[in-house]
Amino acid sequence: AATAPRIPSTRLALHHFDTSYSLHLGALWPSVRAGLLCEQKYGALLNNFAAVDRVHQELELLNATDFISEAPQKAQHWQQGAAVGEARGCQEGSGEGRTVMQAQMMTKAEMSPPLCTSISSKIKCYTFPRGDITRFRPARLDALGLLDYYLMDAASLLPVLALNVRPDDFVLDLCAAPGGKTLALLQTGFCGHLAANDISVSRTKRLYQILHSYVPKKVRDTVSVTSYDGRDWNQVEGGTFHKVLVDVPCTTDRHSAMEEDNNIFHKRRTKERQMLPMLQLQLLMAGILAAKPGGDVVYSTCSLSPLQNECVVE
């Protein structure tokens, strides 16, 4: 054990992806693989609580565009073929599995009215054109001491859009940390109450930091942050939410293929990785039980794995 060569976790991850995803995605896999291994390309989620008029102008001068406002024009094109939608989802959305899954959902659901409506919400996220690898400047404080935008993978907004929050909805973000989706939910201005939960206390601290950096106190008071085990949420507060987001822990494919730190493909974490679909199923069931009758639940991952996506939902 001391003398055997240590295989990097990233190499183990990529070998696993090559073996399983090449079968799942077929001819699409080479382009998806390239997307996973490219430098991550961020979007700038505008902070509606800050003074952002000048930020709109600044970003547009840099040739960045709000990809959400462009989505309705692209919707018809997405509907024309699942294969085209899936391929472009891989290439335009930073290569994360969430984009591919959402492209499939949009095609299969033929852009259902709730999703169309949600896309025209108050959320605005600017991205640079395809092929443009310009980096956004760091976020700046406005006169009220709030940062003007939040840098995140733009594909991470798709589950928030699919949730389609309505005015005064009670919303649960069951696995909320580090907080990008929680912040995006607040940007809609529709949450009557938002419960943001994550089992990790250290990650919850990061969520608190984001809320204090981007959200005024009056709005923060409508958010409750907790650190329960999400699987037990029904014992805490069952059947009370109009909308529930279950963005579960997963293999986080891009991170696994690129970063050694905290990599779930490390040999010591083999059992944890194998148990992920069961954990995901338990969290999804808890999310369903947390919703009111007739409420909506969105399940999402940032993995391409059918075992973590379709199989859990089925």
The DSSP call for residue 23 is: H
Contacting residues for 73 by C-beta, under 8 A, at least 6 apart: none
∠ CA 174-110-97, rounded to 5° = 45
Residue 296 annotated as lining a ligand binding site: no
179-210: buried (b, 16+ CB within 10 Å) or exposed (e) per residue? Answer: bbbbbbbbbbebbeebbbbbbeeeebeebeeb
Q: How far is the first Cα of the chain from the last one, in angstroms, to the nearest whole number?
A: 41
- From CA 251, how far away is CA 44, in angstroms rounded? 25
DSSP characters over 170-224: EEEETT-TT-HHHHHHHHTS-EEEEEEE-S-HHHHHHHHHHHHHHS-HHHHTTEE
- From CA 160, how far away is CA 172, in angstroms rounded? 11
Residue 66 annotated as lining a ligand binding site: no
Sign of CA dihedral 289, 291, 293, 295: negative
Residue 175 annotated as lining a ligand binding site: yes
Residue 216 annotated as lining a ligand binding site: no
Residue 229 annotated as lining a ligand binding site: yes
Residue 169 annotated as lining a ligand binding site: no
- From CA 262, how far away is CA 195, in angstroms rounded? 27
Residue 168 annotated as lining a ligand binding site: no
Residue 41 annotated as lining a ligand binding site: no
Residue 176 annotated as lining a ligand binding site: yes
Q: Give catalytic residues, as residue numbers.
A: 302
Residue 178 annotated as lining a ligand binding site: yes
Residue 270's identity, in one-letter code, is T
Which segments are annotated as binding site for S-adenosyl-L-methionine?
Answer: 175-181, 198, 229, 247
Binding residues: 175-181, 198, 229, 247
